[in-house]
Structure 1
């Protein structure tokens, strides 16, 4: 079976076969990012003329998003994590990736993850988590 998208394990860097792993986010990391982001906003933003503002320097302390990870089941460093997981066989085509993006956009916590980075890396064939089997043609 040919796939449009391939998944590569963050631990061993080998391809993840269908049924042998998942793309996942640790919900404890997502919760931590959400809490840290709320604290950053309280400390770093100011209300001016009806809009929120912050200094460019304060962006250096903006919390890092929770990272989506790909692992073989045997390589997963946190097998007991409270994870939101998508089995790799459910994310093998561009249509699958679009479907999951639409689905995840309904989750209030998505903004606290690096899903946007994962999509951009995949589209640029620069990703190491989800990568096109053949580089896509971009029409930017």
Structure 2
């Protein structure tokens, strides 16, 4: 079955088949980061990006079960086969919006890299057939060329 989205391992850069890998974030690191940000900037954890130089969110990683890329002690884990379509990715985004730790992760960046492949991601959750935001294939025409409707 062809999927809309593919999972590419952050460790070996190989494509991950269903049942062979996960998308995960370190919940312990995210909780720790969130507490530190709240102490620094108050209730709005996203304000840390505007007020703290070098502040980085906790990264979502995509990996094969057999690839060891520094596995978290307490991961929030999503099997890759559950994030293989645009509706599934959207559904996970809605689900994660209710999780307190998500604000301290790069979930939005992960989704943006899937939506806008010009961001040149080589691993993570990526579209099988990259399209630009106008619906054309990546590399179809130079970015400065006018749209042909």
TM-score range, shorter chain: 0.7 to 0.9
Query: Residue 40 of structure 1: SS of its match in structure 2?
Result: helix
Residue 110 in structure 1 maps to residue 102 in structure 2: yes
| CA gap 1:97/1:21 in 2 versus in 1, 3 angstroms | same
Q: Which sections of structure 1, spanning at least 5 residues, go unmatched?
A: 43-52
2:26–2:72 contact (8 Å) kept in structure 1: no
Check whether the contact 1:25–1:84 (CA below 8 A) recurs between aligned residues: yes
Say whether 1:60 aligns with 2:19: no
Note if 1:95 corresponds to 2:87.
yes
- 2:77 paired residue among 78, 85, 96: 85
Contact kept, 8 Å, 2:116 with 2:132, in 1: the verdict is no
Partner of 2:142: none
TM (norm. structure 2) is 0.77
Residue 131 of structure 1: aligned partner? 126
Secondary structure of the structure 2 residue equivalent to 1:109? helix
Residues of 2 paired with 1:111 and 1:103: CA distance?
A: 13
Instruction: Tell whether the 8 Å contact from 1:33 to 1:64 is kept in structure 2 after alignment.
Output: no
The size of the alignment, in residue pairs, is 127
**Secondary structure at 1:116's aligned position in 2?**
helix
In the superposition, the TM-score normalised over structure 1's length comes to 0.81
Give CA deviations for 1:42-80 in whole Å, capped at 9, x if unaligned.
5xxxxxxxxxx99x6x4315x311110001001033446
Q: Give the distance between the partners of 1:20 and 1:85, measured in 2 at CA.
A: 13
Gaps of 5+ in 2: 136-149
Separation in structure 2 between the aligned mates of residue 39 and residue 106 of structure 1, nearest angstrom: 21
Match of 1:49 in 2: none
